[in-house]
Amino acid sequence: MTDYRLLSIIVPVYNERSTVAESIRRVREVPLPLDREIIVVDDGSTDGSHDIVKRLGDSTVRVFRQDKNMGKGAAIRRGVAECRGDIVVVHDADLEYDPRDFPRMLTPILEGKAKVVYGSRFTGEHRNMMFWHWMGNRFLSLVTNVLYNTTLSDMETCYKMVDGELLRSLRLTANRFDIEPQVTAKILRTGTRIWEVPISYAGREIDEGKKISWRDGFPALWTLVRIRFLPMSRIVKSSR
């Protein structure tokens, strides 16, 4: 078993006052085989979410705030910069994902089988998506597989669990939802293979507060194509 001791769980928050407290409670309570820290990054919420998360701060929950809304990617990058974990995972604050899947995702990493584990929404129990959301996800996963010679079923999943040293070595620049293809593409460019495990998923739709839309598919597609041909100096940070 590898010597991993701390899991950093990054929770980007933007206007999720109705769900954020319950989401963080679930992350706190899930049994894990290693220590945890929860990094909450409020991305300029205007609905009172920050007042809620401020009250949740304790020895395991560290709260940071972006002065203005910069996008999910910017919030995740802030979380990566602030976290100390040997393993890092992102957890959305909207109750779509279930942190009880963390132990299943941790197993391949702790057993030394993988450095990156994705939770696939398409191979586990899930609430059916609207057709065009499903189609967009599958199309982007197909493009990823063709460009990077892999067989991912769910490139866009929020649950990307990554070795902390590897994640912090990547040059991440995305500010919005294109953080998902950017992380995936740059991991694959390093030659790291991604392990997938099934997870449960209770996805929202636009009328329920979901923020990503079909328009975000175009920058995601461009990100996948562009990174495929970038020099390695743009993929990983210099070791010097």
DSSP lists the bridge partners of residue 26 as: none
What's the pLDDT tens digit per position in 169-222?
Answer: 999 999 998 999 999 999 999 999 999 999 999 875 554 444 555 566 789 999
Q: At what angle do helices 49-56 and 20-29 cross, to 10 degrees?
A: 20
19-64 pLDDT tens trace = 999 999 999 999 999 999 999 999 999 999 999 999 988 889 999 9
* Separation between Cα atoms, residue 33 and residue 25, nearest integer Å: 18
Secondary structure E strands in 14-124: 35-43, 61-66, 87-90, 116-120
Determine the pLDDT at residue 143: 96
Determine contact, residues 153/113, Cβ cutoff 8 Å.
Answer: no
pLDDT of residue 239: 65
> Which pLDDT tens digit goes with each residue over 66-75?
999 999 999 9
- Strand partners for 11: 40
Low-confidence winner among 1-5, 60-64, 141-145 (lowest mean pLDDT): 1-5
Q: What is the DSSP string of 40-63?
A: EEEES-SSSHHHHHHHH-SSSEEE
Average pLDDT over every residue of 116-120: 97
At residue 186, the pLDDT reads 98
Q: Domain residues of the chain, as ranges?
A: 6-230
**Burial of 118 by CB count in 10 Å (0-12 exposed, 13-18 middle, 19+ buried)?**
buried
Fold of 6-230: Spore Coat Polysaccharide Biosynthesis Protein SpsA; Chain A (3.90.550)
Backbone angles phi, psi at 74, to 5 degrees: -65, -40
Which structure tokens are listed for 201? Answer: 């998923």
Asked if pLDDT for residue 132 goes beyond 90, the answer is no
pLDDT, average across residues 94-118: 97
What mean pLDDT, rounded, does the chain reach?
91
